[in-house]
Structure 1
Amino acid sequence: MNTVLAAPGTGASFTQGLGAVGLSSLAAAGFIVLIIAIRNKSEYTRKFFSDLRHLAALAAVIGVLFMIAGGTWRNLAEGVHSTAASALTAPDLVAGVTPAGLALIFFVMSFLPEWEKRLPPAIFGLSFGVSCGVAGAFWGVLFKVTGAFLEKLA
């Protein structure tokens, strides 16, 4: 007689934290959470994202998630990143910025200023997550560790 006490559902494995959700579904859920956190209308988001640095960190994780999910999510993240990067690396503002330098700039813009509005830290945080993957070195390690965790979660 064989008795199975617990087994994953069809398509799920023991390494998947949420079952067979998939990266695209996780990216969609993350995008919705990010929009809710930016709007700041729910009591839950006011509790956890009142400090805009937490909002920037959430946006950075969502940026990494978009990049590893690929497809439309990757295009969306790269679009936000390229818009913010082109504004910050205009020849009249800062010339000769490397990808690692851009990751550092996005880190500083995400976490150091005391922002009045909620959208700038979210945009810079999302761009920071994307630029970590492009920059390599220390930033690439952050990207890989976060990406590996998110892949295990999906």
Structure 2
Amino acid sequence: MTPMNTVLAAPAAGASFTQGLGAVGLSSLAAAGFIVLIIAIRNKSKYTKKYFNDLRPLAVLAAVTGVLFMIAGGTWRNLAEGVHDTAASALTAPNLIAGVTPAGLALIFFVMSFLPEWERRLPPAIFGLSFGVSCGVAGAYWGILFRVTGAFLEKLA
């Protein structure tokens, strides 16, 4: 029988019981997400060929990474906003689509991420990352999706 004052498992210093991976931190989780995204875009690993051969999971990974960048803040947020602003400015040029709202932009990024049959791996990754960022800006159901994903990632870190 185990004595009552024995601790069988204790979290690391700074970790709490609500953290899924211990005291990793959002910035470290963002760096890991970025590395996984780069590996998935390159598609040289047998795991990426197995799980990301279809480009829709790659777009989901990019969208989750975009949300993670936004909640991590700092340089990660600047990187995500830069990718989002570049894709948004290309789509919302006055001669292409004028007067697009943030919710409309989130819808456009969703469509561009998941519906076309892309031949290359970079476009769904860029549009997916931009979709994750634009969900936070758009609000409504897009914002709920952003907040639920962000809350899960915050609990994981």
Give the shorter-chain TM-score range: over 0.9
Task: Flag structure 2 segments of 5+ consecutive residues without an equivalent.
Answer: none
Superposition CA RMSD, Å: 0.7
Secondary structure at the counterpart of residue 85 of structure 2: helix
Report what 1:110 is aligned to.
Answer: 113
Deviations 1:88-113 (A, max 9, x none): 00000000000000000000000000
CA distance in structure 2 between the aligned counterparts of 1:41 and 1:133, rounded to whole angstroms = 32
Report what 1:134 is aligned to.
Answer: 137
Alignment of 1:36-75 (within 5 A): 36-75=39-78
Amino acid at match of 1:151: E
TM-score, with normalisation over the residues of structure 2? 0.97
Shift of 1:6: 1.8
Amino acid at match of 1:87: A
Match status 1:3 vs 2:6: yes
Shift of 1:9: 1.4
Amino acid at match of 1:93: L
CA distance in structure 2 between the aligned counterparts of 1:128 and 1:141, rounded to whole angstroms = 13
CA distance in structure 2 between the aligned counterparts of 1:72 and 1:14, rounded to whole angstroms = 28
Q: Which has the greater radius of gyration? A: 2
Shift of 1:145: 0.1
Report what 2:21 is aligned to.
Answer: 18
TM-score, with normalisation over the residues of structure 1? 0.99
Task: Flag structure 1 segments of 5+ consecutive residues without an equivalent.
Answer: none
Deviations 1:11-36 (A, max 9, x none): 11110000000000000000000000
Shift of 1:4: 1.3
Q: Any runs of at least 4 consecutive aligned residues in structure 1 with deviations exceeding 4 A, and if so which? A: none
Deviations 1:63-120 (A, max 9, x none): 0000000000000000000000000000000000000000000000000000000000
CA distance in structure 2 between the aligned counterparts of 1:75 and 1:113, rounded to whole angstroms = 28
Shift of 1:8: 1.1
Shift of 1:7: 1.5
Report what 1:122 is aligned to.
Answer: 125
